[in-house]
Structure formats: C-alpha cells, structure tokens
Amino acid sequence: MVFRSPVGGRRRRRGGFRWQIMLLFAIGAGVYYFANQETVPITGRKQLRTMKHDQEMQLGLQSYKQILNDQRQNLITGGPQYNAIQEIGRKIQVAAEPWDPGFDWAFNLIRSDQANAFALPGGYTAVYTGLLPIAQNEDGLAVVMGHEIGHALAHHGAERMAQQNMQRIIGAGVSLGAGGMDMGAQRAVMGVFGGISQYGYALPFSRKHEEEADRIGLLLVARACYDPREAPKLWERMGASAGATPPEFQSTHPAPETRVQNFQEWMPEAIQIYNESCPDKIRGY
C-alpha cells in the first residue's frame, strides 16, 4: 500500500532496524577494544586503555590543583591527624613501589564533613576529616587510603574514559541502525539500549572497579604493615554510616555485605603478605 500526503506527495514507508550498520559499528568497537589492551598492576586484569601515562598524570595534576585551590581555606597542614595521613601515605607509597608508574605522590587532609577520600592519577591523595571518626584508627584509615590509591594505580579513570568512548561508538551504531524506523520505534530502541548500557554495562563496570580497588588496597595495606583484618570492619562501618542504599544492581558500588564477603575471600593472601612483610607484627589468622 502506498500512503499519500495531503498535498499529493508520497510518504516513504519506514523500514526495520538496519542490522548491517550496527554490525559495522560493532566490528569497529571490537577492533578499538582489542587494539588497546593494557594490564592492571597487581591483579593482572586486562583493561581497555588508550590514554598515555603523561596525559593521565597531567589530568590528575590539573584536577588536584583545582581541588586544592577550591579548598585552600580548609587545608590542614599540621597536627596529629595530618601527621598520621602523611605517615600512612608514605608507607603505602613504599608498598606500591613495584607497581608505581612514576607518580609524584602527595597526601593532604581537608577539613570537611564529607566521609570521603580520593587519589587522582599521579598519586595526589586527600582525606576529608569527616572520614576520620568512621576510620577510627590508623589501620582503618590505611584501608581507605589504600583503596583510593588502588584506583589510581589501576588507571581506572583512564579506563573509564576509554570504555565511554566504546559505548559512544556502539550507541552511534544503534542510532544509525534505527534511523530508518518511525520515531516511536527509534525512541523505544534507544531506550532499550540505554537501559542495557546502564544496568548491564556501566554500573557492573563501576562495581568491578570498586572491587578491584578493594583488593589492591587490601594487599597494599598488608605490605605497608597495617592490619588487613580491619578492612571488613571498616566497610561495615562505612555501610552503617551511609544509611539506606539502593539495591546493588542499581548502585555504582558493591553492597557492604558483598565487600565483606570479598575481603574474607582475599584475607588469607593478605595475611600471608602481612606476616612476610611485618614479622614483628605477626598475630596469626
């Protein structure tokens, strides 16, 4: 059947999804992925990473300078808490030497109610004072700092940017593939793609990063002679302080109970490292 417009012209009938276009973009995404494989230090996982180390360091330094400038009124540069941050940071830095890609390293304490910390590419690390009551002790503080430094050592920021590029390639293929469909069908296809991308890829990918940083941080803590047994206790306290959280499949972070289970799985390895690195602190397992 041919549909005619009110002015006598012909309206083209919309077709279905053009899988050939999607296939071309999928092949392009596959080439992009396999041509840019790197190895994560410590865990040995293969990751997609296209950013050069110097670029990554420069971005980390820029962000670090901006944060320090914004927080210059809140920087703490002395006292017992500041000294603890410095000592823990330096010990973790030494523990990370075999995998250090040439970080500049810096450790800061920022006055804030946030129960948070960060480590940027380059080893630029900061702890907010709101985290200290939850950390409770140096071992707990080392666990948090080790986790954040684990993100930096694993190049998670650069990997995230590369993965987003790959998602854009696939998304462009889906959009062009649906271009021959009517607008309602196009919106439906892009909605399905968005849901799959979010819940089937982006959120699990983020949780994987958090899990990997937990493991790297735990091993760094053990090498630095801080008690790795504090890790599950710390994350239990973090979970309690966070209050109600969404279901794990909707979250960027693993559920507290998942993290505790992971730590129990990794703990024998961490204890072995702890006992070998710190014979004067051996307390068994």
pLDDT of residue 139: 97
Q: What is the rounded distance in angstroms from the CA atom of residue 140 to the CA atom of residue 228?
A: 9
pLDDT of residue 138: 96
Q: What is the rounded distance in angstroms from the CA atom of residue 85 to the CA atom of residue 190?
A: 47
Q: What is the rounded distance in angstroms from the CA atom of residue 68 to the CA atom of residue 226?
A: 28
When divided into structural domains, the chain yields a total of 1
Query: Residue 98 domain-assigned?
Result: yes
Query: Residue 235 domain-assigned?
Result: no
Residues 6+ apart with CB under 8 A from 147: 213, 214, 216, 217
Q: What is the rounded distance in angstroms from the CA atom of residue 97 to the CA atom of residue 93?
A: 6
Residue 117 is inside which H or E element, if any?
strand 117-120
The pLDDT tens digits for 115-131 are 999 999 999 999 999 99
Query: Residue 157 domain-assigned?
Result: yes
Q: Six-digit token pair at 83?
A: 């000294």
Q: Which residues of 219-252 are buried (b: 16+ CB within 10 A; e: fewer)?
A: bbbbbbbbbbbbbbbbbebbbeeeeeeeeeeeee
pLDDT of residue 250: 75
pLDDT of residue 282: 54
Query: Residue 168 domain-assigned?
Result: yes
pLDDT of residue 2: 46
Q: Which residues of 45-74 are buried (b: 16+ CB within 10 A; e: fewer)?
A: eebbbebeeeebbebbbebbeebbeeeeee
- What domain range includes position 170? 33-210
Q: What is the rounded distance in angstroms from the CA atom of residue 8 to the CA atom of residue 13?
A: 15
Query: Residue 200 domain-assigned?
Result: yes
Query: Residue 52 domain-assigned?
Result: yes
- Sheet containing strand 124-128, strands side by side: 75-76, 106-110, 124-128, 117-120
Give me the tens of pLDDT residue by residue for the chain, a chain 285 residues long: 444 445 444 444 556 888 888 888 888 888 999 999 999 999 999 999 999 999 999 999 999 999 999 999 999 999 999 999 999 999 999 999 999 999 999 999 999 999 999 999 999 999 999 999 999 999 999 999 999 999 999 999 999 999 999 888 888 888 888 888 888 888 888 888 888 888 887 898 899 999 999 999 999 999 999 999 999 999 889 888 876 677 776 788 888 889 989 999 999 999 999 999 998 765 544
Q: What is the rounded distance in angstroms from the CA atom of residue 120 to the CA atom of residue 115?
A: 17
The residue among 39, 54, 29, 52 whose CA lies nearest residue 165 is 29
Instruction: Kindly list the distances between the CA atom of residue 249 and the CA atoms of 122, 161, 209, in Å, as whole numbers in the listed order.
Output: 31, 22, 14
pLDDT of residue 244: 65
Q: What is the rounded distance in angstroms from the CA atom of residue 146 to the CA atom of residue 76?
A: 21
DSSP 238: H
The pLDDT tens digits for 217-250 are 999 999 999 999 999 999 889 888 876 677 776 7
Q: Which of 148, 159, 210, 230 is catalytic?
A: 148
Query: Residue 229 domain-assigned?
Result: no
Q: Six-digit token pair at 199?
A: 């819940």
Active-site residue, 148 included:
yes
Which amino acid, one-letter code, is at 119? A
Number of Cβ within 10 Å of residue 272's Cβ equals 12
Q: Report H helices in the chain.
A: 19-34, 53-70, 80-95, 132-135, 138-153, 156-177, 183-197, 203-223, 230-242, 256-277
Query: Residue 1 domain-assigned?
Result: no
DSSP 13: P
